[in-house]
Structure 1
């Protein structure tokens, strides 16, 4: 199975649509066999699901994600585990062990963040629909 994680400096990047890198993990028998960081630059907000599909991704672990991207991933046959945060490698190991902490209801409906805000995290200063923890 190939797993992708939105990636930035070892952590799960918290806004799928603005992700510049993914870390891809090739797994077999519940263990990581190989991993590589790939650039998604130039793929565009709406093309990331196709980009992941082209790379053989079957599972995506991410932070915040919008409804359009959710639909595109579903159409591409990619299983989604949103609302995750923290170390990317540890998250994949937790996923493989059936222990990943994520929030299937996480969405991101806003695209203009104020300084210090992170989509998918719990650091928004206001109750904006779409941030993890704020249900629409």
Structure 2
């Protein structure tokens, strides 16, 4: 399976729509290890208005491990079959390994600055 993480300098970027790039880890769920890594360029502008969800879905990504993200972006990712876990932070490889070991849980928090007057909602 494949995990995508919005990344800035090898850390989870807390602002999904403006990350430097996405780190995509291919993981072997049964062996609990990372078996591959790709970097996907981040689209210009706001993430929830771009085609990044479709690009990641075409790559086979089924889970996004992210920091904060508005409900609009979550809905876009969910609509292409990508589950979202929010509230992640730290080194992207360590976050992916934490998910594999089962020690990560979704904060369930939306980034509310997206809800009112943010550029995603012109």
TM over 0.5: yes
The residue aligned with 1:66 is: 70
1:28-47 C-alpha deviation (Å, 9 max, x unpaired): 13210011222123475242
Listed as ranges, the gaps of 5+ residues in structure 1 are: 112-128, 131-136
**Greater share of residues in helix:** 2
Q: Deviations over 1:39-82 (max 9, x none)?
A: 12347524222222122111100001011111111111111111
Going by fraction, where is strand more abundant, 1 or 2? Answer: 2
The yes-or-no answer on 1:23 pairing with 2:27 is no
1:50 equivalenced with 2:54 (yes/no):
yes
| Alignment: residue pair count | 112
Aligned counterpart for 2:113 among listed residues 110, 114, 117: 110
For the Cα contact (< 8 Å) 1:43–1:51, is it kept in 2?
A: no
How far apart in 1 are the matches of 2:46 and 2:60? 18
Kept in 1, the 8 Å contact 2:66–2:89? The answer is: yes
**Alignment check: 8 A CA contact 1:17 1:48 kept:** no
Higher-Rg member (1/2)? 1
Query: Residue 25 of structure 2 contacts residue 36 of structure 2 at CA under 8 Å; is this kept in 1?
Result: yes
Cα root mean square deviation, aligned: 2.0
Q: 1:106 to 1:11 in 2, by over 3 A?
A: same
Q: SS state of the match for residue 58, structure 1? A: strand
* Aligned match for 1:32, one of 31, 34, 41: 34
Q: Tell me the TM-score normalized by structure 2.
A: 0.81
Give 4+ residue runs of structure 1 displaced > 4 Å after superposition. Answer: none
Structure 2 residue runs without a partner (length 5+): 117-122
